[in-house]
Structure 1
Amino acid sequence: MYNQNSMPESRDDPSRWTLQGHQAAPHNNSFSSSSSSTMTLPQNIFTNPAIQPSTVINLSNSTDVVIGPMTQYQGPVSIYYMDASMQTAAGDSSSNRQDNGSSGRAKSRRLTRNSLLLGVLVLLVLITAIVVLYVELHRSRGEPVSKEIYFGNSYEDGTFPNLGNGHLVIERNQWGASDNTQKLLVPLPHPAPYVLITHIGVQSQPCFNIYKCSIKMRTIQDSAIAEKNLPDIQSNFYVSDEGNIYVGRGWDWANTYANHTLAITFMGDYGRFTPTTKQLEGVQFLLAHAVANRKLEVDYKLVAQNQTKSTKSPGIYVYREIKKWPHFHPCNMEEAGKCGSELGMTAASWNGHQ
């Protein structure tokens, strides 16, 4: 508070102007708003450089005066006190929320990346599967080198590797036939009019499984080529005691005995051994298959080798059985004609060497 002697009084002193735009009255012991002068401000007070604003403002009998910026709240205001420890805890909580937010965003990014990788992997698998399937469906399939052995009871053409009822057909490559054979020159006519039954003989033991019978087949072939100077094994087919069929010269080439016959050989010496029921049945299944597939005439004639030449083949025990079969032909016996005479065959025709 200034007194009257603090500074000279002058009506032109800007420091004596009140905020209401009136010049302040001289200081007395007490001030009253009524003592304020009603003199108006000079018009050039803010534009006249000669009038310098004072850094001191004197207020008298005034309320609700604020110098500087002011924020007013219209309504109840709550004031909370926060000391240093509470502020630190609040900061830590905020930091944790930020860390949790960062961790959540990182986890979300990883999940998105993993989902994309999984999607790409599934797509690659699908593409690979489609390509493999396309290649398999459009790949040219050549004829198999050899037929497999199947189990069944079908006589349809193309299913010959199985004759039915467990009678297997063992192809040449399956029993291990030699490839170093001479080319066969005489084809077997289809359908053939005659069936010739023989046996191996010469104290030959019957064979009972594919392993041992395959060895016997290779031995027969080696003997035919090396000792008898034949181009290949003698007969068209061989039958084991277990009733399996082993392919010799097959359907398309004449055997070494007679050109117009389908030669079937029992594997063993059946002047000493009795043929088994399975063995006899296997021969009958083979003949039925041949007729069904036009390899034999429907009214073919079945003869034993001992009817065509002086030999013990096919053995007395086999001969006794085949004489009962419906297609047996008693040629060269009693009053019957010569074997093959209706075809112009002679005795020499049954002694082929090919």
Structure 2
Amino acid sequence: MESNTPQQAGATPVPESVTNALMRIQPPYNSFHQHNGIPHMGANGYGQDANASSGARARGASMSSNTNNTLQPATTSVINLSNSSDVVIGPMTQYQGSVTIYQYMDATVEASRIASGRNNQNRGLPSTEQSTVLRQERYFLYGVLILFTIIAFSTALYFIINSKESDSSPRQPDILFGNNYVSGTLPNLGNGHLIIDRRNWGAQEAVRGRYPLKSPIPYVLITHIGVQSSPCMDMHRCTILMRTIQDAAVAEMGLPDISNNFYLGGDGFIYVGRGWEIANAYANQTLAINFMGDFVRHQPNEKQFSALEHLLAHGVVENYLAKDYKIVAHNQTKKTRSPGPYIYERISKMPRWSTCGTPGYRVCGSELGLPPVWDQDFPKKQK
């Protein structure tokens, strides 16, 4: 057996932070250091041969006495063994009684780990920074869940309240077109032009015209009320005016019913007089439409002209009016101020207006055999 013991290499001093950590984690070492005079780690370190590249490396710690009765850490030795058996390195010492062994190298390594933040106790545990990040992520997820819960609850509450309100509110009847509508509803010709039938404005039930009106109708006659009548601007006033007109026609003029087939109110509604199936008081084979008011003094509003256009379009679609029907003013068929200059100026510019009855033109309805004066239901004056 050959033994090669190199010279002691220069010991690497232990950092101050490691020494302090060693003092904190190893109270027994600290006490032993104070009572046995172990030199400070900064003065005597533990070294390792820098040239040892292979072979067995043995490290240990031993104490020996010198002239100053102090303990020195052992140096690192390199021993090369070949073809040997039963090798014992170092003295074989037997102790009787209690023995305490201090592992100074392990304490030094542990202190180094503490100083660098790699303590064995913290191994495998998340760092404080990671724990903080996880805690923040957890709080964020909790906040998102709470927010979604609040939104879902608010949405459900909104729909519940709306459903209750819709159930409690009365349902409006559907507005239908034409004559086949449910009793109690008002048909609408579009653009807010409601049809107010005889029952809704309070017509006398037993009153009815004499002659039936055959379709399609070739002439449309435009009249007005006159007699210094102000235009009615809402359903309440217009229905009162309709009842007044009917009462005057029956009681004062001796007519079988109200004069015209339809009446246009200032509210834009269309009030049914004799309707589509009964001839008016002026001439058979004509449809008489009245502007409610005195339009010698007043101007009609646009709602009334819009109602006229919708009513005429409805008559053509439903085949009540002829495809080539003609529009004439009341003063073209009889000496009268009706329908007033304001209305006559407007209807004379309509595409379906006819020049009949004006100077130089034939009498209106002469091709149908109608009389020169259209007043079939009015009492004849005695000569």
TM range (shorter): 0.5 to 0.7
Q: Deviations over 1:87-121 (max 9, x none)?
A: xxxxxxxxxxxxxxxxxxxxxxxxxxxxxxxxxxx
Equivalent residue for 1:171, pick from 149, 174, 197: 197
Residue equivalent to 2:233: 208
Residue equivalent to 1:353: 377
2:357 aligned counterpart, secondary structure: coil
Residue equivalent to 1:278: 303
1:347 aligned counterpart, secondary structure: coil
Once the two structures are TM-superposed, the CA of residue 184 in structure 1 deviates from its matched residue by: 2.8
Structure 2 vs 1, CA of residues 202 and 149 (structure 1 numbering), >3 Å: closer, same or farther?
Answer: farther
Equivalent residue for 1:333, pick from 330, 355, 358: 358
Residue equivalent to 2:51: none
2:257 aligned counterpart, secondary structure: coil
* Amino acid in structure 2 at the alignment position of 1:329: S
Once the two structures are TM-superposed, the CA of residue 346 in structure 1 deviates from its matched residue by: 2.3
- Structure 2 Cα separation of the partners of residues 151 and 209 of structure 1: 20
Residue equivalent to 2:291: 266
Q: Deviations over 1:169-218 (max 9, x none)?
A: 0010000111242x433101100100000000010010011111000000
1:172–1:248 CA contact under 8 A, matched in 2: yes
Once the two structures are TM-superposed, the CA of residue 293 in structure 1 deviates from its matched residue by: 0.4
2:209–2:280 CA contact under 8 A, matched in 1: no
- Structure 1 Cα separation of the partners of residues 307 and 288 of structure 2: 14
- Structure 1 Cα separation of the partners of residues 215 and 368 of structure 2: 14
Residue equivalent to 1:67: none
Once the two structures are TM-superposed, the CA of residue 336 in structure 1 deviates from its matched residue by: 2.1
Once the two structures are TM-superposed, the CA of residue 150 in structure 1 deviates from its matched residue by: 5.8
Matches of residues 299-314 of structure 1 in structure 2 within 5 Å? 299-314=324-339
- Structure 2 Cα separation of the partners of residues 164 and 150 of structure 1: 14
Over aligned residues, Cα RMSD in angstroms? 1.9
Matched, 1:248 2:273: yes
Matched, 1:292 2:307: no
- Structure 1 Cα separation of the partners of residues 288 and 341 of structure 2: 18
2:366–2:372 CA contact under 8 A, matched in 1: no
Structure 2 vs 1, CA of residues 169 and 150 (structure 1 numbering), >3 Å: closer, same or farther?
Answer: farther
Structure 2 vs 1, CA of residues 325 and 149 (structure 1 numbering), >3 Å: closer, same or farther?
Answer: farther
Matches of residues 21-100 of structure 1 in structure 2 within 5 Å? none
Q: Deviations over 1:31-73 (max 9, x none)?
A: xxxxxxxxxxxxxxxxxxxxxxxxxxxxxxxxxxxxxxxxxxx
Q: Deviations over 1:111-132 (max 9, x none)?
A: xxxxxxxxxxxxxxxxxxxxxx
Equivalent residue for 1:319, pick from 321, 326, 344: 344
1:197–1:303 CA contact under 8 A, matched in 2: yes
2:235–2:267 CA contact under 8 A, matched in 1: no
Runs of 5+ unmatched residues, structure 1: 1-147
TM-score normalised by L of structure 1? 0.55
Residue equivalent to 1:143: none
- Structure 1 Cα separation of the partners of residues 279 and 349 of structure 2: 26
* Amino acid in structure 2 at the alignment position of 1:166: G
Structure 2 vs 1, CA of residues 149 and 186 (structure 1 numbering), >3 Å: closer, same or farther?
Answer: farther
Structure 2 vs 1, CA of residues 204 and 149 (structure 1 numbering), >3 Å: closer, same or farther?
Answer: farther
Q: Deviations over 1:260-286 (max 9, x none)?
A: 100000000001111101110101100
* Amino acid in structure 2 at the alignment position of 1:177: A
* Amino acid in structure 2 at the alignment position of 1:294: N
Residue equivalent to 2:34: none
Matched, 1:191 2:213: no
Runs of 5+ unmatched residues, structure 2: 1-171, 379-383
* Amino acid in structure 2 at the alignment position of 1:344: G
1:151–1:164 CA contact under 8 A, matched in 2: no
- Structure 2 Cα separation of the partners of residues 325 and 150 of structure 1: 34
- Structure 2 Cα separation of the partners of residues 347 and 318 of structure 1: 22
TM-score normalised by L of structure 2? 0.51
Structure 2 vs 1, CA of residues 220 and 180 (structure 1 numbering), >3 Å: closer, same or farther?
Answer: same
Structure 2 vs 1, CA of residues 353 and 185 (structure 1 numbering), >3 Å: closer, same or farther?
Answer: closer
Residue equivalent to 2:168: none
1:187–1:252 CA contact under 8 A, matched in 2: yes
Once the two structures are TM-superposed, the CA of residue 243 in structure 1 deviates from its matched residue by: 1.3
Larger Rg: 1
- Structure 2 Cα separation of the partners of residues 294 and 317 of structure 1: 30
Residue equivalent to 1:224: 249
Once the two structures are TM-superposed, the CA of residue 339 in structure 1 deviates from its matched residue by: 0.4
- Structure 1 Cα separation of the partners of residues 317 and 343 of structure 2: 24
1:149–1:161 CA contact under 8 A, matched in 2: no
* Amino acid in structure 1 at the alignment position of 2:334: K
